[in-house]
Amino acid sequence: MKILVIGKGGREHALALAASQSTLCTELFAAPGNPGMAEIATLVPIDDNQMTELADFAASNDIDLTIVGPENALADGIVDEFAARGLKIFGPTKAAAQVEASKDFAKGLMKKHNIPTAGYQTFTDYDAACSYVKEHGAPIVIKENGLKAGKGVTVAMNEADALEALKIAFDIPGNSVVIEDYLEGFEFSLIALVNGENVYPLECAQDHKRVGDGDTGPNTGGMGSYSPVKKITPELVEETMETIMKPMAKALVEEGCPFTGFLYGGLMVTDKGPQVIEFNARFGDPEAEVILCRLESDFVKAILDVMENKEPELVWTNKTSHGVVLASEGYPAGATKGAAIEGVNEVDGLVYHMGTKMDEGRLLTNGGRVLMVVTLADKLEDAMANTYEEVKKVNCDKLFYRTDIGRKDLVDGEN
Protein backbone atom coordinates (compact mmCIF):
# COMPACT_ATOMS: atom_id res chain seq x y z
CA MET A 1 0.00 0.00 0.00
CA LYS A 2 1.05 3.57 -0.65
CA ILE A 3 0.58 5.60 2.49
CA LEU A 4 0.63 9.35 3.00
CA VAL A 5 1.12 10.97 6.41
CA ILE A 6 0.10 14.61 6.64
CA GLY A 7 1.99 16.92 8.96
CA LYS A 8 5.47 17.94 9.97
CA GLY A 9 5.90 17.53 13.73
CA GLY A 10 6.99 14.89 16.19
CA ARG A 11 3.56 13.29 16.24
CA GLU A 12 3.64 12.84 12.48
CA HIS A 13 7.19 11.51 12.69
CA ALA A 14 5.88 8.88 15.13
CA LEU A 15 2.87 8.10 12.93
CA ALA A 16 5.14 7.76 9.90
CA LEU A 17 7.59 5.53 11.78
CA ALA A 18 4.78 3.22 12.89
CA ALA A 19 3.37 3.14 9.35
CA SER A 20 6.80 2.43 7.86
CA GLN A 21 7.10 -0.67 10.05
CA SER A 22 3.87 -2.15 8.70
CA THR A 23 4.19 -5.10 6.37
CA LEU A 24 1.37 -3.55 4.36
CA CYS A 25 3.30 -0.38 3.61
CA THR A 26 5.15 -0.51 0.33
CA GLU A 27 5.75 3.20 -0.10
CA LEU A 28 5.51 6.00 2.43
CA PHE A 29 5.08 9.71 1.76
CA ALA A 30 4.96 12.61 4.19
CA ALA A 31 3.58 16.05 3.38
CA PRO A 32 5.38 18.21 4.13
CA GLY A 33 7.24 15.96 6.61
CA ASN A 34 10.46 16.95 8.33
CA PRO A 35 14.19 16.12 8.16
CA GLY A 36 13.73 13.21 10.58
CA MET A 37 10.99 11.71 8.45
CA ALA A 38 13.14 11.98 5.33
CA GLU A 39 14.90 8.79 6.45
CA ILE A 40 11.72 6.74 6.25
CA ALA A 41 9.45 8.56 3.81
CA THR A 42 9.51 10.51 0.59
CA LEU A 43 8.89 14.13 1.51
CA VAL A 44 6.25 15.91 -0.54
CA PRO A 45 6.60 19.69 -0.49
CA ILE A 46 2.92 20.47 0.14
CA ASP A 47 1.98 22.13 3.39
CA ASP A 48 -0.51 20.44 5.70
CA ASN A 49 -3.10 23.19 5.17
CA GLN A 50 -3.15 22.90 1.36
CA MET A 51 -6.12 20.56 1.19
CA THR A 52 -6.78 20.66 -2.53
CA GLU A 53 -3.13 20.15 -3.43
CA LEU A 54 -2.88 17.27 -0.95
CA ALA A 55 -5.96 15.57 -2.40
CA ASP A 56 -4.58 16.13 -5.93
CA PHE A 57 -1.33 14.49 -4.86
CA ALA A 58 -3.11 11.53 -3.26
CA ALA A 59 -5.28 11.03 -6.34
CA SER A 60 -2.51 11.30 -8.91
CA ASN A 61 -0.11 9.10 -6.95
CA ASP A 62 -2.64 6.36 -6.13
CA ILE A 63 -2.27 6.77 -2.38
CA ASP A 64 -4.20 3.95 -0.69
CA LEU A 65 -4.42 5.47 2.77
CA THR A 66 -3.83 8.93 4.19
CA ILE A 67 -3.24 9.46 7.91
CA VAL A 68 -3.72 12.99 9.23
CA GLY A 69 -1.66 14.36 12.10
CA PRO A 70 -2.48 18.00 12.82
CA GLU A 71 -5.71 19.41 14.19
CA ASN A 72 -5.74 22.44 11.89
CA ALA A 73 -6.02 20.34 8.75
CA LEU A 74 -8.87 18.35 10.34
CA ALA A 75 -10.69 21.46 11.53
CA ASP A 76 -10.37 22.90 8.02
CA GLY A 77 -12.08 19.82 6.56
CA ILE A 78 -9.29 17.84 4.91
CA VAL A 79 -11.18 14.60 5.53
CA ASP A 80 -14.30 15.99 3.84
CA GLU A 81 -12.21 17.02 0.85
CA PHE A 82 -10.57 13.60 0.49
CA ALA A 83 -13.80 11.70 1.12
CA ALA A 84 -15.66 13.75 -1.51
CA ARG A 85 -13.05 12.58 -4.01
CA GLY A 86 -13.26 8.95 -2.93
CA LEU A 87 -9.80 8.99 -1.31
CA LYS A 88 -9.30 6.83 1.78
CA ILE A 89 -8.30 8.91 4.79
CA PHE A 90 -8.18 8.24 8.52
CA GLY A 91 -9.40 11.22 10.53
CA PRO A 92 -12.57 13.03 11.59
CA THR A 93 -14.64 15.25 9.33
CA LYS A 94 -14.73 18.98 9.88
CA ALA A 95 -17.96 18.58 11.86
CA ALA A 96 -16.57 15.86 14.12
CA ALA A 97 -13.26 17.69 14.58
CA GLN A 98 -15.20 20.33 16.48
CA VAL A 99 -14.66 18.20 19.60
CA GLU A 100 -11.31 19.95 19.62
CA ALA A 101 -11.77 23.08 17.51
CA SER A 102 -14.63 24.41 19.61
CA LYS A 103 -14.41 24.05 23.37
CA ASP A 104 -17.98 25.28 23.53
CA PHE A 105 -19.21 22.51 21.22
CA ALA A 106 -17.31 19.86 23.20
CA LYS A 107 -18.50 21.09 26.58
CA GLY A 108 -22.09 21.39 25.34
CA LEU A 109 -22.04 17.83 24.05
CA MET A 110 -20.57 16.51 27.29
CA LYS A 111 -23.22 18.29 29.30
CA LYS A 112 -26.02 17.03 27.09
CA HIS A 113 -24.80 13.44 27.23
CA ASN A 114 -23.79 13.39 30.90
CA ILE A 115 -20.11 12.87 30.24
CA PRO A 116 -18.22 13.84 33.39
CA THR A 117 -16.33 17.10 33.01
CA ALA A 118 -15.73 20.28 34.96
CA GLY A 119 -18.65 22.71 35.30
CA TYR A 120 -18.27 25.64 32.93
CA GLN A 121 -19.75 28.72 31.39
CA THR A 122 -18.95 30.46 28.09
CA PHE A 123 -18.40 34.21 27.92
CA THR A 124 -18.22 36.59 25.00
CA ASP A 125 -18.28 39.65 27.24
CA TYR A 126 -15.24 40.72 29.26
CA ASP A 127 -17.14 42.37 32.13
CA ALA A 128 -19.48 39.41 32.58
CA ALA A 129 -16.48 37.05 32.63
CA CYS A 130 -14.75 39.19 35.28
CA SER A 131 -17.87 39.23 37.45
CA TYR A 132 -18.14 35.44 37.20
CA VAL A 133 -14.52 35.02 38.29
CA LYS A 134 -15.02 37.39 41.22
CA GLU A 135 -18.13 35.52 42.27
CA HIS A 136 -16.56 32.05 42.00
CA GLY A 137 -13.07 32.84 43.25
CA ALA A 138 -9.95 30.76 42.57
CA PRO A 139 -8.67 28.25 41.69
CA ILE A 140 -10.43 28.56 38.37
CA VAL A 141 -9.54 27.75 34.76
CA ILE A 142 -9.76 30.14 31.81
CA LYS A 143 -9.74 28.65 28.31
CA GLU A 144 -9.76 30.66 25.13
CA ASN A 145 -11.97 29.21 22.41
CA GLY A 146 -10.43 27.82 19.23
CA LEU A 147 -7.20 25.96 18.47
CA LYS A 148 -4.33 27.23 20.58
CA ALA A 149 -1.70 24.47 20.40
CA GLY A 150 -2.16 23.79 24.12
CA LYS A 151 -1.34 27.35 25.02
CA GLY A 152 -4.68 29.13 25.48
CA VAL A 153 -5.33 27.75 28.96
CA THR A 154 -4.68 29.44 32.28
CA VAL A 155 -5.06 27.45 35.46
CA ALA A 156 -5.39 30.40 37.83
CA MET A 157 -4.62 29.61 41.44
CA ASN A 158 -5.65 33.13 42.47
CA GLU A 159 -8.19 35.68 41.31
CA ALA A 160 -5.61 38.17 40.02
CA ASP A 161 -4.16 35.61 37.60
CA ALA A 162 -7.64 34.73 36.40
CA LEU A 163 -8.50 38.38 35.73
CA GLU A 164 -5.18 38.89 33.96
CA ALA A 165 -5.91 35.89 31.70
CA LEU A 166 -9.30 37.37 30.82
CA LYS A 167 -7.72 40.69 30.00
CA ILE A 168 -5.29 39.01 27.61
CA ALA A 169 -8.03 36.84 26.06
CA PHE A 170 -10.40 39.76 25.46
CA ASP A 171 -7.65 41.92 23.99
CA ILE A 172 -8.26 39.80 20.90
CA PRO A 173 -11.39 41.19 19.22
CA GLY A 174 -14.26 38.72 19.00
CA ASN A 175 -12.59 36.22 21.32
CA SER A 176 -14.64 34.14 23.71
CA VAL A 177 -13.64 32.09 26.72
CA VAL A 178 -14.82 29.06 28.58
CA ILE A 179 -14.43 29.42 32.34
CA GLU A 180 -14.21 26.07 34.08
CA ASP A 181 -14.21 24.74 37.59
CA TYR A 182 -10.81 23.60 38.72
CA LEU A 183 -10.37 19.82 38.80
CA GLU A 184 -7.91 18.30 41.19
CA GLY A 185 -6.37 14.91 40.49
CA PHE A 186 -4.04 12.78 38.42
CA GLU A 187 -3.89 13.67 34.74
CA PHE A 188 -3.44 11.22 31.88
CA SER A 189 -4.09 10.87 28.16
CA LEU A 190 -6.11 8.10 26.59
CA ILE A 191 -6.16 7.97 22.83
CA ALA A 192 -8.60 5.64 21.13
CA LEU A 193 -9.04 4.43 17.58
CA VAL A 194 -12.61 5.34 16.75
CA ASN A 195 -15.06 4.66 13.95
CA GLY A 196 -18.60 5.71 14.75
CA GLU A 197 -19.60 3.92 17.93
CA ASN A 198 -16.63 1.53 17.83
CA VAL A 199 -13.93 2.67 20.22
CA TYR A 200 -10.62 0.86 20.83
CA PRO A 201 -8.25 2.28 23.44
CA LEU A 202 -4.52 2.48 22.91
CA GLU A 203 -2.17 2.36 25.89
CA CYS A 204 -2.23 5.41 28.17
CA ALA A 205 0.45 8.04 28.46
CA GLN A 206 1.11 10.97 30.72
CA ASP A 207 2.23 14.30 29.35
CA HIS A 208 4.03 16.98 31.37
CA LYS A 209 2.48 20.20 30.10
CA ARG A 210 4.09 22.95 32.11
CA VAL A 211 7.28 24.45 30.74
CA GLY A 212 9.30 24.27 33.95
CA ASP A 213 10.59 21.63 36.33
CA GLY A 214 8.22 20.71 39.13
CA ASP A 215 5.24 21.49 36.87
CA THR A 216 5.79 25.23 37.05
CA GLY A 217 5.38 28.03 34.51
CA PRO A 218 2.96 28.33 31.62
CA ASN A 219 1.32 25.46 29.76
CA THR A 220 2.96 24.25 26.58
CA GLY A 221 2.05 21.70 23.92
CA GLY A 222 3.83 19.19 26.18
CA MET A 223 7.44 18.92 27.39
CA GLY A 224 7.75 15.16 27.80
CA SER A 225 5.80 11.99 28.41
CA TYR A 226 5.93 8.32 29.25
CA SER A 227 3.84 5.21 28.69
CA PRO A 228 2.29 3.13 30.20
CA VAL A 229 0.98 4.90 33.28
CA LYS A 230 0.89 2.33 36.07
CA LYS A 231 -1.48 4.38 38.17
CA ILE A 232 -4.06 4.03 35.40
CA THR A 233 -5.12 0.46 36.03
CA PRO A 234 -7.09 -1.66 33.55
CA GLU A 235 -10.16 -1.01 35.74
CA LEU A 236 -9.70 2.75 35.40
CA VAL A 237 -9.28 2.42 31.64
CA GLU A 238 -12.47 0.37 31.53
CA GLU A 239 -14.32 2.99 33.58
CA THR A 240 -12.98 5.75 31.32
CA MET A 241 -14.10 3.83 28.26
CA GLU A 242 -17.60 3.25 29.60
CA THR A 243 -18.23 6.69 31.10
CA ILE A 244 -16.30 8.91 28.71
CA MET A 245 -14.84 7.57 25.47
CA LYS A 246 -17.72 5.39 24.26
CA PRO A 247 -20.43 7.86 25.32
CA MET A 248 -18.60 10.66 23.46
CA ALA A 249 -18.31 8.58 20.30
CA LYS A 250 -21.99 7.72 20.60
CA ALA A 251 -22.89 11.36 21.22
CA LEU A 252 -21.12 12.38 18.03
CA VAL A 253 -23.00 9.73 16.08
CA GLU A 254 -26.28 10.96 17.53
CA GLU A 255 -25.43 14.56 16.68
CA GLY A 256 -25.01 13.50 13.06
CA CYS A 257 -21.24 13.90 12.99
CA PRO A 258 -19.76 10.44 13.61
CA PHE A 259 -16.08 10.47 14.49
CA THR A 260 -13.43 8.46 12.67
CA GLY A 261 -9.81 8.74 13.70
CA PHE A 262 -7.81 9.17 16.86
CA LEU A 263 -9.99 10.50 19.66
CA TYR A 264 -7.82 11.96 22.37
CA GLY A 265 -9.16 12.15 25.90
CA GLY A 266 -7.30 14.54 28.16
CA LEU A 267 -8.47 13.17 31.49
CA MET A 268 -8.23 13.72 35.20
CA VAL A 269 -8.76 11.03 37.82
CA THR A 270 -10.63 12.93 40.50
CA ASP A 271 -12.22 11.67 43.71
CA LYS A 272 -15.42 11.39 41.66
CA GLY A 273 -13.74 9.18 39.06
CA PRO A 274 -12.28 10.08 35.66
CA GLN A 275 -13.36 13.43 34.20
CA VAL A 276 -12.66 15.13 30.90
CA ILE A 277 -10.30 18.07 30.69
CA GLU A 278 -10.47 18.20 26.93
CA PHE A 279 -11.01 16.14 23.83
CA ASN A 280 -8.73 16.38 20.85
CA ALA A 281 -9.55 15.18 17.37
CA ARG A 282 -6.11 13.70 16.68
CA PHE A 283 -3.20 11.92 18.28
CA GLY A 284 -1.44 13.72 21.12
CA ASP A 285 2.01 15.20 20.81
CA PRO A 286 4.21 14.20 22.77
CA GLU A 287 1.98 11.19 23.46
CA ALA A 288 2.31 9.66 19.96
CA GLU A 289 6.07 9.40 20.33
CA VAL A 290 5.91 7.30 23.52
CA ILE A 291 2.79 5.27 22.68
CA LEU A 292 3.39 4.20 19.09
CA CYS A 293 6.95 3.00 19.77
CA ARG A 294 5.41 0.46 22.18
CA LEU A 295 3.05 -1.01 19.58
CA GLU A 296 4.31 -4.39 18.42
CA SER A 297 1.42 -5.29 16.14
CA ASP A 298 0.77 -3.75 12.74
CA PHE A 299 -0.34 -0.11 12.98
CA VAL A 300 -1.65 0.21 9.43
CA LYS A 301 -3.58 -3.05 9.72
CA ALA A 302 -5.15 -1.73 12.94
CA ILE A 303 -6.31 1.46 11.20
CA LEU A 304 -7.72 -0.46 8.24
CA ASP A 305 -9.56 -2.85 10.56
CA VAL A 306 -11.07 0.02 12.53
CA MET A 307 -12.20 1.65 9.30
CA GLU A 308 -13.98 -1.60 8.43
CA ASN A 309 -15.51 -1.86 11.90
CA LYS A 310 -13.38 -4.87 12.78
CA GLU A 311 -11.70 -5.16 16.15
CA PRO A 312 -8.01 -4.31 15.63
CA GLU A 313 -5.18 -6.41 17.01
CA LEU A 314 -3.18 -4.25 19.39
CA VAL A 315 -0.12 -5.85 21.00
CA TRP A 316 2.12 -3.76 23.24
CA THR A 317 5.58 -4.25 24.64
CA ASN A 318 5.70 -4.42 28.45
CA LYS A 319 8.55 -1.97 28.39
CA THR A 320 8.06 1.61 29.49
CA SER A 321 8.87 4.39 27.07
CA HIS A 322 10.02 7.78 28.26
CA GLY A 323 10.62 10.90 26.24
CA VAL A 324 11.93 14.40 26.75
CA VAL A 325 11.21 17.37 24.50
CA LEU A 326 14.00 19.78 23.62
CA ALA A 327 12.48 23.19 23.07
CA SER A 328 13.81 26.49 21.76
CA GLU A 329 14.80 29.24 24.12
CA GLY A 330 11.77 31.45 24.77
CA TYR A 331 9.14 28.72 24.26
CA PRO A 332 6.15 28.82 24.79
CA ALA A 333 5.94 32.64 24.57
CA GLY A 334 8.07 32.68 21.41
CA ALA A 335 10.97 30.72 20.02
CA THR A 336 14.40 31.22 18.57
CA LYS A 337 14.98 29.70 15.15
CA GLY A 338 17.94 28.79 12.99
CA ALA A 339 20.33 27.51 15.67
CA ALA A 340 22.60 24.64 14.61
CA ILE A 341 21.96 21.24 16.19
CA GLU A 342 24.64 18.60 16.42
CA GLY A 343 24.95 15.13 17.85
CA VAL A 344 21.52 13.79 16.87
CA ASN A 345 23.10 10.77 15.18
CA GLU A 346 24.97 9.89 18.37
CA VAL A 347 21.75 9.31 20.31
CA ASP A 348 21.06 5.69 21.21
CA GLY A 349 17.29 5.89 21.17
CA LEU A 350 14.52 7.37 19.09
CA VAL A 351 14.86 10.99 18.03
CA TYR A 352 11.67 12.54 16.75
CA HIS A 353 11.85 15.81 14.89
CA MET A 354 9.24 18.31 16.05
CA GLY A 355 10.53 21.60 14.65
CA THR A 356 13.73 21.28 12.64
CA LYS A 357 14.89 22.11 9.14
CA MET A 358 17.84 21.20 6.98
CA ASP A 359 19.90 23.98 5.52
CA GLU A 360 22.82 23.01 3.29
CA GLY A 361 23.33 19.78 5.17
CA ARG A 362 23.07 21.36 8.61
CA LEU A 363 20.23 20.62 10.99
CA LEU A 364 18.69 23.78 12.45
CA THR A 365 16.04 24.60 15.04
CA ASN A 366 12.81 25.75 13.42
CA GLY A 367 10.08 26.18 16.01
CA GLY A 368 9.07 25.99 19.66
CA ARG A 369 9.40 22.30 20.30
CA VAL A 370 12.34 21.03 18.29
CA LEU A 371 13.26 17.41 19.09
CA MET A 372 12.08 14.62 21.32
CA VAL A 373 14.37 11.88 22.56
CA VAL A 374 12.67 8.64 23.59
CA THR A 375 14.10 5.48 25.13
CA LEU A 376 12.55 2.29 26.46
CA ALA A 377 13.43 0.15 29.46
CA ASP A 378 11.79 -2.38 31.76
CA LYS A 379 11.04 0.30 34.34
CA LEU A 380 10.21 3.98 34.08
CA GLU A 381 13.13 5.03 36.27
CA ASP A 382 15.57 3.18 34.01
CA ALA A 383 14.05 4.64 30.86
CA MET A 384 14.19 8.06 32.49
CA ALA A 385 17.88 7.63 33.28
CA ASN A 386 18.55 6.43 29.71
CA THR A 387 16.73 9.32 28.07
CA TYR A 388 18.52 11.93 30.13
CA GLU A 389 21.86 10.30 29.31
CA GLU A 390 21.03 10.36 25.59
CA VAL A 391 19.64 13.91 25.60
CA LYS A 392 23.08 15.16 26.63
CA LYS A 393 24.43 14.05 23.27
CA VAL A 394 22.32 16.62 21.44
CA ASN A 395 24.32 19.78 21.14
CA CYS A 396 22.62 23.13 20.67
CA ASP A 397 22.99 26.16 22.85
CA LYS A 398 19.49 27.41 22.04
CA LEU A 399 17.65 24.34 23.33
CA PHE A 400 16.39 23.59 26.82
CA TYR A 401 14.47 20.73 28.39
CA ARG A 402 12.82 19.75 31.64
CA THR A 403 14.98 17.61 33.88
CA ASP A 404 12.18 15.87 35.76
CA ILE A 405 9.97 14.17 33.17
CA GLY A 406 8.73 10.96 34.80
CA ARG A 407 10.16 11.79 38.22
CA LYS A 408 8.64 9.72 41.03
CA ASP A 409 6.88 12.52 42.89
CA LEU A 410 5.28 13.79 39.66
CA VAL A 411 4.01 10.37 38.58
CA ASP A 412 2.85 9.41 42.05
CA GLY A 413 5.76 7.05 42.58
CA GLU A 414 3.97 4.01 41.28
CA ASN A 415 5.52 3.34 37.90
Interacting residues toward ligand AMP by CB under 6 A: 118, 141, 143, 150, 153, 155, 180, 182-183, 187, 209, 219, 266, 277-278
Bridge partners, 261 (sequence order): 194
Rounded CA separation 343/356 (Å): 14
Q: What contacts 64, CB < 8 A, 6 or more positions away?
A: 1, 2, 3, 88
Of the candidate residues 287, 289, 298, 390, the single one contacting ligand GLY (CB under 6 A)? 287
What does 287 interact with, of ligand AMP, ligand GLY, none (CB < 5 to 8 A by kind)?
ligand GLY
Nearest approach in angstroms of CB 67 to ligand GLY is 16
Triad 41, 94, 292: Cα angle to 5°? 40
Q: What is the distance of C-alpha 193 from the center of its chain?
A: 14
Q: Which is nearer to ligand AMP, 210 or 301 (CB)?
A: 210
Contact 139, 155 (CB under 8 A): yes
Nearest approach in angstroms of CB 12 to ligand GLY is 12
Q: What contacts 156, CB < 8 A, 6 or more positions away?
A: 138, 139, 140, 141, 142, 162, 165
What does 280 interact with, of ligand GLY, ligand AMP, none (CB < 5 to 8 A by kind)?
ligand GLY
What does 118 interact with, of ligand AMP, ligand GLY, none (CB < 5 to 8 A by kind)?
ligand AMP
Q: Which is nearer to ligand GLY, 44 or 263 (CB)?
A: 263
Question: According to the binding rule CB under 6 A, does residue 227 interact with ligand GLY?
Answer: no
Q: What contacts 288, CB < 8 A, 6 or more positions away?
A: 10, 11, 14, 15
Stretch that binds ligand GLY, among 122-130, 279-287, 306-314, 370-378 (CB under 6 A): 279-287
Q: Which is nearer to ligand AMP, 394 or 411 (CB)?
A: 411
Of the candidate residues 280, 320, 321, 356, the single one contacting ligand GLY (CB under 6 A)? 280
Nearest approach in angstroms of CB 354 to ligand AMP is 18
Pick from 186, 155, 139, 154: which is nearest to 409 by CA? 186
Q: Which is nearer to ligand AMP, 187 or 381 (CB)?
A: 187
Rounded CA separation 38/363 (Å): 13
Question: According to the binding rule CB under 6 A, does residue 10 interact with ligand GLY?
Answer: no
What does 141 interact with, of ligand AMP, ligand GLY, none (CB < 5 to 8 A by kind)?
ligand AMP
Question: According to the binding rule CB under 6 A, does residue 404 interact with ligand GLY?
Answer: no
Burial class (CB in 10 A: 0-12, 13-18, 19+), 357: middle
349: left (phi over 0), alpha (psi -120 to 50) or beta: left
What does 219 interact with, of ligand AMP, ligand GLY, none (CB < 5 to 8 A by kind)?
ligand AMP
Nearest approach in angstroms of CB 271 to ligand AMP is 13
Q: Where are the beta strands (DSSP E) in 140-284?
A: 140-144, 153-156, 177-181, 186-195, 198-201, 206-207, 210-212, 216-219, 224-227, 260-270, 273-280
Say which amino acid occupies 391: V
Per-residue binding letters, 124-153, with ligand GLY (x by CB under 6 A): --------------------------x---
Rounded CA separation 9/212 (Å): 22
Q: Beta 337-340 vs 369-377: how paired, if at all?
A: unpaired
Question: According to the binding rule CB under 6 A, does residue 247 interact with ligand GLY?
Answer: no
Question: According to the binding rule CB under 6 A, does residue 312 interact with ligand GLY?
Answer: no
Binding site for ligand GLY (CB under 6 A): 150, 207, 221-222, 280, 284-287
